[in-house]
Amino acid sequence: MRFYTLLLTLLISSTCAFAQTSKSHLYFEKDYQKVWCDAHCGTMEVVLQDKARVDCVTNTYAIEFDFAPKWAESIGQALYYGEVLKKKPGIVLIVENLEKSEKYINRVKTVAVKSGITLWLMYPEDMK
Residues of the chain scoring pLDDT < 70: 1-23
| Residue boundaries of the structural domains of the chain | 26-127
Q: Say whether pTM exceeds 0.75.
A: yes
Q: Determine the pLDDT at residue 24.
A: 86
Q: Which residues contact residue 98 at a Cβ distance below 8 angstroms, ignoring those fewer than 6 apart? A: 123
Q: Determine the pLDDT at residue 127.
A: 87
Q: Give the pLDDT of residue 2.
A: 52
CATH number of 26-127: 3.40.1350
**What single string gives the DSSP state of each residue in 11-48?**
HHHHHHHHHHHHHHSSS-HHHHHHHHHHHTT-EEEEEP
